Amino acid sequence: MTVSVLRCDNYELNQLRETIKESLDNLGGLEAFIKIGDRVLLKTNLLMKKAPDEATTTHPMFVRAIAELLIDYGAKVLIGDSPGGPFLEIRMKNIYKATGMQEVANATGAALNFNLKSFTVESKGSLLLNKIELTDMINDVDKIINLPKLKTHGLTVFTGAVKNLFGLIPGTIKGEYHVRMPDVNDFSNALIDICEHVKPVLHVMDGIMSMEGAGPSSGVPKKTNVIIASDNPHDLDKVACELIDLGVMDVPTLRLAYERGLTSVDLSDVDIKGDSLENLRIWDFVKAPANSGRKRRIPKPIMALLVKQLKSKPIFNDSKCVGCGDCELNCPPKAIVMIARKPVVDYKKCISCFCCQELCPAKAIDIKKPLLSKIVFR
Ligand code: SF4
Ligand code: SF4
């Protein structure tokens, strides 16, 4: 499969338009994927109400550049995502405003999604999910273009093209997936099922300013200066991970895609067009704290005995906490209760999904890796 990799070191609109156009040309041009008159959903990463320079969400100039290319071509554009937490109109208005999407809509004439309904669909080719509940916004379009942000992730190690499509699961329904699939391998297989079911026609990754460390929302912005595009989400993620020194076996969605025959274990079968990976590599990209080590081969029975002691846990920093209660609201197994406006966790109930860390607006939650885990996953 072809993956376009192009250097782009800022969010200046003309440069973005040119580089994204060149990325699409490397894949056969927009006309290979979109027909004139098509309605196209730009599936952005709008995880929460954050300003663009915090590198949590797809940058608005990146979204604007691709929206303009599509509109000039003759397509109709809808911008959307279902962020974590309740999927409500007032929340979406605030998120569109904070993330710069309202300005993109004003400048380009693209529509913002306010269809908050959902529907359930049978997923016959899935490995894990027989039925998937999805946001109804995908029924308002003919095609989906996925616009992920390159970031670390506390649970899944990395969030890119495959993980970004979890945002098509409506609001709080996402929490049910974590409760039903507390094991990261099951959860990752579900992510692959969702990705394979909704099948965006294209994936274009905003890897210009990425997030390292405690991603997907509490990490640190990091310049990685790259736009990666492909019609194969697994190969795109594989190339992105290669650039930040993660291998297929380090990332559950990639390892399981490999086991399912959806990608290979290395880059040997990927046709990379554009700039050399060697010139774009970031050797010091800080991994997510829960997953900062390479796994050693431990026999499965021993691993089963150790699993509880190896699990990373969320640690709450009361001095940073602003008492908003979002962690309590979004904890899938209801392991958090707010007492005197501070969260208290029942670690026996905690499934280490890190939804609390993902959605905390104050970066008040760290992920702590137990000492034994540090030794095993050194
Ligand atoms: S989400 Fe963060 S700021 Fe809000 S109550 Fe929980 S820890 Fe505190
Ligand atoms: S406390 Fe945090 S990590 Fe634990 S289950 Fe709740 S949301 Fe997930």
* Cβ burial, residue 102 (10 Å; 0-12/13-18/19+): middle
pLDDT of the residue at 370:
77
**Closest listed ligand to the CA of 327:** 1
Q: What fold is seen in the domain 2-279?
A: Rossmann fold (3.40.50)
Compute, in angstroms, the gap from residue 215 CA to the centroid of ligand 1. 16
**Span 198-214, average pLDDT:** 97
Whether 67 contacts 20, CB under 8 Å: no
Confidence of residue 293 (pLDDT cuts 50, 70, 90): very low
Identify whether 148 is preceded by a cis peptide bond (ω within 30 of 0): no
Q: Count of CB atoms within 10 A of residue 114's CB?
A: 11
Q: CA 151, CA 204: separation in Å to the nearest integer? A: 14
**Span 276-287, average pLDDT:** 96
**Span 293-321, average pLDDT:** 71
Confidence of residue 125 (pLDDT cuts 50, 70, 90): confident
pLDDT of the residue at 84:
84
Percent residues over pLDDT 90 in the chain: 88
> Taking the domains of the chain in order of start, what are their residue ranges?
2-279, 293-376
Q: Which of 8-17, 82-91, 102-111 has the lowest mean pLDDT?
A: 82-91
The pLDDT of residue 242 is above 90: yes
pLDDT digits (tens, 9 = 90+) for 182-192: 999 999 999 99
pLDDT of the residue at 300:
59
**Span 107-120, average pLDDT:** 98
Confidence of residue 294 (pLDDT cuts 50, 70, 90): very low
Confidence of residue 85 (pLDDT cuts 50, 70, 90): confident
Q: CA 109, CA 77: separation in Å to the nearest integer? A: 8
364 CB near ligand 1 (under 6 Å): yes
pLDDT digits (tens, 9 = 90+) for 29-81: 999 999 999 999 999 999 999 999 999 999 999 999 999 999 999 999 999 99
Compute, in angstroms, the gap from residue 224 CA to the centroid of ligand 2. 30
Higher-pLDDT residue of 351 and 294 is 351
pLDDT of the residue at 81:
98
Structure tokens at 368: 């702590």
Pairing mode of beta strands 220-230, 365-368: unpaired
323 CB near ligand 1 (under 6 Å): yes
Q: Which of 3-17, 76-90, 363-377 has the lowest mean pLDDT?
A: 363-377
DSSP 8-state class, residue 377 = T
Compute, in angstroms, the gap from residue 327 CA to the centroid of ligand 1. 6
**At 300, is the secondary structure helix, strand, or coil?**
helix
Structure tokens at 92: 């979406």
362 CB near ligand 1 (under 6 Å): yes
pLDDT of the residue at 289:
82
Residues framing ligand 2 (Cβ under 6 A): 314, 331-333, 335-336, 345, 350-356
pLDDT digits (tens, 9 = 90+) for 318-329: 999 999 999 999
Which residue's C-alpha comes closest to atom 3 of ligand 1?
321
Sign of CA dihedral 150, 153, 156, 162: negative
pLDDT of the residue at 110:
98
Q: Which of 20-29, 189-198, 358-367 has the lowest mean pLDDT?
A: 358-367
Which residue's C-alpha comes closest to atom 6 of ligand 1?
327
For the structural domain made of 293-376, what CATH number should be given?
3.30.70.20
325 CB near ligand 1 (under 6 Å): yes
pLDDT of the residue at 343:
97
Amino acid at 94: N
> String of b and e for 275-314 (b: at least 16 CB within 10 Å)?
beeeebebeebbbbbbbbeeeeeeeeeeeeeeeeebbbeb
Q: Indicate the top mutation candidate among 311, 312, 356, 369 to test ligand 2's pocket, ranked by most ligand atoms within 8 A of CB.
A: 356
Q: CA 162, CA 73: separation in Å to the nearest integer? A: 27
129: left (phi over 0), alpha (psi -120 to 50) or beta: beta
Round the average pLDDT of the chain to a whole number and report it. 93
The pLDDT of residue 276 is above 90: yes
Which residue's C-alpha comes closest to atom 4 of ligand 1?
324
Residue among 64, 286, 80 at smallest CA distance from 168? 80
**Span 157-164, average pLDDT:** 97
Q: CA 144, CA 141: separation in Å to the nearest integer? A: 7
Structure tokens at 137: 């916004």
Q: CA 20, CA 17: separation in Å to the nearest integer? A: 5
pLDDT of the residue at 298:
55
**Span 98-113, average pLDDT:** 98
**Span 302-316, average pLDDT:** 74
**Span 290-303, average pLDDT:** 54
The pLDDT of residue 291 is above 60: no
**Span 247-259, average pLDDT:** 96
Angle, helices 184-198 vs 252-259, to 10°: value is: 70
